[in-house]
Amino acid sequence: MFDPVCPSPLVPFRVGDKWATLILRCLQDGPRRFSELRVPLRGVTAKSLTQSLRGLERDGFVVREEYEGRRVEYALTPLGRGLLVPLDTACEWTREHWDELIDAQEAGLSATDH
Amino acid sequence: MFDPVCPSPLVPFRVGDKWATLILRCLQDGPRRFSELRVPLRGVTAKSLTQSLRGLERDGFVVREEYEGRRVEYALTPLGRGLLVPLDTACEWTREHWDELIDAQEAGLSATDH
DNA sequence: AGGGCTGGTTTCCCATTGGATACCGCCTTA
DNA sequence: TAAGGCGGTATCCAATGGGAAACCAGCCCT
């Protein structure tokens, strides 16, 4: 899922911007630091990560907590945690219909090639 | 929902491009013609509608059926109909948490104003 | 014969998204 | 004291998304 060559862009569901769902998923097991998020989200630039986090924060899905020193943690709010529920439904549907999705897409693509 | 001043862009869920979910919703009660889709989808240009329909068709969520004369109908495929299920879950979650979403968003906005 | 409707296509243009890169102040550690 | 990690910002740039407007062929109606 976090692999740069993963086909997740094929998934018809998106939440917010490109990285938002992945960030929510990264936070589901507890708060994470900025640099801890950059590891699983391979390929995300600092700018994009900041942008997405600011968006999620502005919309109340994530809180930014600054501790002593420069330590900063991002955590889900109750609202953000709630958002994971329908997101999981969507992910599960996608997994269940993955083969159909791929087949339909390949059929659609080969229909325009010729 | 189809009103041009409707706040649906605030919803954190999107499927495909800007018009895709609305098109799917328009098709849930049966096939519709191109011009029939333009009515409820107020403000959609012919180009955008064509683009979205081609995308949904390419991905196997919608079929384009050309009948005698120039009559053309768009209908959901089984896959497209299935997609409505998790989409409904997402819509319902959004409706249930609408007030929280709005409140959180206003709080987030006023935090940057000052 | 002309005007309108249907189902688009084409062109142009602009705003937004997001990647690459360089840079930054602060802090800890060696 | 220098090096490196942390948590970003600033700048530039290319690709994409999507609206506006013009156009079009084929049909139907009068």
Q: What is the pLDDT of residues A96-109, one digit of tens each?
A: 999 999 999 888 87
∠ CA A17-A42-A21 to the nearest 5 degrees? Answer: 30
| B107 vs A60, A103, A108: nearest CB | A60
Residue nearest to nucleotide C18 (CA to C1'): A48
pLDDT string in tens for chain B (114-residue length)? 677 777 787 889 989 999 999 999 999 999 999 999 999 998 899 999 999 999 999 999 999 999 987 899 999 999 999 999 999 999 999 999 999 999 998 898 777 654
**pLDDT value of position A69:** 78
Q: Are the beta carbons of A15 and B16 separated by less than 8 Å?
A: no
Structural domains present in chain A: 8-112 (1.10.10.10)
Helix H or strand E encompassing A33: strand A32-33
Our measurement of the distance from residue B111's CA atom to the centroid of its chain's CA atoms, rounded to an integer in Å, reads 31
What is Dmax (Cα atoms) for chain A? 62
pLDDT at residue A42 in the model? 86
Residue with tokens 């509608």: B49
**Strand blocks (E) in chain B:** 13-15, 32-33, 62-66, 72-76
How far: B89 CA to C1 C1' (Å)? 56
The residue with greater pLDDT, A48 or B7, is A48
